[in-house]
Amino acid sequence: MSSTESQPGVRPVPQPFSRPIRLGVLISGGGTTLANFVEQIVAGKLTAEIPLVIASRGNCGGVARARNFGIRCEVVERRAFASVGDFSETIFRLCREVHVDLVTLAGFLSLIQVPLDFQHRVVNVHPALIPSFCGAGYYGHKVHEAVLARGAKVSGCTVHFADNQYDHGPIIAQAAVPVQEDDTPDSLAARVFAAECRTYPEAIRMYAQGRLEIVGQRVRIHGVDRPGENSETHLAGGIDSSVPEGFSV
C-alpha cells in the first residue's frame, strides 16, 4: 500500500447539495469565465447561483459584465491593503456575508490567503496542464506564449483546489488540447478556453455532488462516471480541438 493510500481522505462536501450551490466568483479581467457560468446556469446544466462577484480591478471588463447580469459586484483592489492578509480577509468577509459555498477564481490574478473556514472551498482554473507552465508570472497570454516558445505539443487547462501558493493545490480535473504548428497565443488561448468552458463547470458539479475526496495532494473522484468515461468534458484524457461559439481568435 502506498503512503498516499494509507492517508485518511477529506470529503469537502460529505453529502450532495440539496439546493443550488452558491458561488463567489473572483475576477481580474473580462469576466468570460463568469459569462460561461451564467450560460451554464441558465441552460440548466449547472445547478448553482452567483450571489457575488469580486473584482481586483475597478476598470476590468468583468465588472460591467457582472452588473449587466444583475449580479452584485464588489471591487477589492490589492493596492488598497497593507498586507495580503488584510486583502484576503476583506474578500472572505464579503463571501461570508452572502453565504458563499464555493469560491471560484476566474482569472483572478492576486494571491490570496485561504482562511480555515474556507479550506477546500476555493477552486481555481489555470490555462495549462499543471505542473507545467504555472506559478508566479504565468497568467493569461504569458502562459500560451511560454507553451509555444517551448515547443510543447499539447496544452490544456487544470482545475484545482487553491491554497496559499500560485497554482499549487490538489488537482481536480484536467483537459488536454493539441498545439498546432501555426498556433498563435490567441488561437491557443481560444482552444484552451473552450476546454475550460466544459471542465470548470464539471468540476463544480462534482464538488456539489459530494464526489470529491482529497487524499494528500491527490483528488479521488467517486461516482459512476469517471473522468474521461462518458464525460463530454474530457477531464482526464482525450484531446479537444474545439472553440466555443462567440469566442474570437
pLDDT tens for each residue of 91-122: 999 999 999 999 999 999 999 999 999 999 99
Domain shared by 109 and 71, yes or no: yes
Three-class secondary structure of residue 24 per DSSP:
strand
Nearby residues of 182 by Cβ (< 8 Å), 6 or more positions away: none
Q: Is 168 a catalytic residue?
A: no
pLDDT tens for each residue of 62-95: 999 999 999 999 999 999 999 999 999 999 999 9
CA distance 57 to 152: 32
Helix (H) / strand (E) element for 219: namely strand 218-221
Confidence of residue 138 (pLDDT cuts 50, 70, 90): low
Spot the catalytic one: 99, 120, 126, 234. 126
CA distances from 20 to 17, 46, 82, 84, 182 (A): 7, 9, 36, 31, 42
Domain shared by 149 and 63, yes or no: no
Q: Is 12 domain-assigned?
A: no
CATH code for the domain of 235? 3.40.50.170
Q: Is 3 domain-assigned?
A: no
Please count the structural domains in the chain.
Answer: 2
Domain that holds residue 55: 20-119
Instruction: Report pLDDT for 230.
Output: 41
pLDDT tens for each residue of 167-196: 679 999 999 999 999 999 999 999 999 999
Domain shared by 130 and 238, yes or no: yes
Domain shared by 73 and 50, yes or no: yes
Domain shared by 198 and 115, yes or no: no
Instruction: Report pLDDT for 134.
Output: 74
CA distance 240 to 220: 23
